[in-house]
């Protein structure tokens, strides 16, 4: 069976974006050249690493540093006093650390995350609104789902991720979240990213998830809005659009 024989191929491999993930996107790009419809677009997946993709939208993010330099991290901490450090290739809240004003264990944390200067990491100013939840805003076909899932940290954690024990609470989307999605969603949809998960803390964008965004089930169960139907409708629209395109120049697509 050829991949191109299917109506669509859904690429939803979880991070990390390691060599196997990278090679998979190239194989799927070859499938596209052979006529397959792949979503999300393999090329777009390569171009939008989930931690770094937010840098395209500085108007929505907290002060952020991307570096391998321990000295730069210390200078960032001196300026902002309360910071979050994270690896660039993690998921589910793995490897995320908070360092407060006293700087306790900052050196050890940096060494652990960056492998003594071998790995690039991300550092951000701590956003205190995390106590109200790390909100997942799903964007499908460039349009936001009308409900979000606030993932609320439990038991003294600063991580709200469900995989880290966070409590998921569905809420109507706020005007600020709709504003963020309204800018980012259409732009990413135009690049072949049918399904995107924006992470928002307070009014601040913290991450753009493009590999395997979740929270369909929790939002649907709690709000009654059928997220899966919205996704399938958008997917069918993509399939129909694909079928209208000639496979070769001058050939009738029907």
Q: Give the span between the Cα atoms of 40 and 194, in whole angstroms.
A: 6
One of 51, 114, 161, 177 is an active-site residue; which one?
A: 51
Residue 61 carries which DSSP code?
A: B
The question of whether 199 is a catalytic residue gets the answer yes
Residues 150 and 134: beta-carbon distance below 8 Å: yes
Choose, from 89, 134, 199, 218, the residue flagged as catalytic.
199
Q: What are phi and psi of 159, to 5 degrees?
A: -100, 130
Is 86 a catalytic site residue? yes
**Which residue among the candidates 114, 135, 151, 218 is catalytic per the annotation?**
151
Q: Is 51 a catalytic residue?
A: yes
Comparing CA positions, the residue from 189, 183, 212 lying closest to residue 141 is 189
Q: How far apart are CA 125 and CA 112, in angstroms?
A: 19
Catalytic residue among 40, 125, 135, 136: 136
Helix (H) or strand (E) holding 99: strand 97-99
Is 98 labeled as catalytic in the residue annotation?
no
Catalytic residue among 50, 89, 177, 207: 207
Q: Which of 40, 50, 86, 161 is catalytic?
A: 86
Give the DSSP letter of residue 48.
-
d(CA 249, CA 237): 23
**Which listed residue (159, 161, 177, 218) is catalytic?**
159
Q: How far is CA 25 from CA 1, 30, 42, 220, 235, in A?
A: 19, 9, 5, 30, 19
Structure tokens at 85: 């450090």
Peptide bond into 230 cis (omega under 30): no
Q: Catalytic residue at 187? A: no
- List the catalytic residue out of 40, 114, 161, 209: 209
Q: Is 209 a catalytic residue?
A: yes
Residue 208, beta-bridge partner list:
198
Catalytic residues: 51, 86, 136, 151, 159, 199, 207, 209
């Amino acid at each position: 069976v050829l991949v191109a024989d299917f109506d669509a191929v859904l690429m939803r491999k979880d991070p990390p974006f390691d060599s196997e993930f990278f090679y998979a996107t190239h194989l799927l790009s070859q499938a596209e050249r052979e006529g397959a419809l792949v979503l999300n677009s393999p090329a777009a997946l390569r171009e939008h690493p989930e931690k770094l993709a937010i840098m395209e939208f500085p108007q929505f993010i907290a002060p952020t540093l991307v570096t391998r330099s321990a000295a730069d991290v210390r200078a960032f901490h001196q300026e902002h006093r309360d910071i979050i450090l994270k690896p660039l290739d993690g998921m589910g809240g793995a490897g995320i650390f908070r360092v407060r004003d006293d700087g306790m264990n900052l050196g050890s944390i940096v060494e652990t995350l960056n492998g003594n200067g071998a790995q690039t990491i991300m550092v951000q100013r701590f956003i205190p609104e995390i106590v109200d939840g790390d909100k997942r805003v799903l964007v499908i076909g460039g349009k936001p789902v009308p409900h979000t899932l606030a993932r609320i940290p439990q038991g003294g954690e600063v991580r709200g991720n469900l995989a880290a024990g966070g409590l998921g609470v569905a809420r109507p989307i706020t005007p600020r979240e709709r504003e963020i999605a309204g800018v980012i969603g259409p732009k990413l949809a135009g690049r072949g990213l049918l399904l995107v998960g924006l992470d928002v803390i307070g009014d601040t964008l913290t991450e753009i998830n493009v590999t395997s965004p979740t929270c369909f089930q929790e939002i649907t169960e709690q709000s009654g809005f059928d997220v899966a139907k919205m996704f399938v409708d958008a997917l069918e629209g993509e399939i129909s659009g694909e079928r209208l395109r000639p496979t070769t120049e001058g050939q009738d697509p029907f």
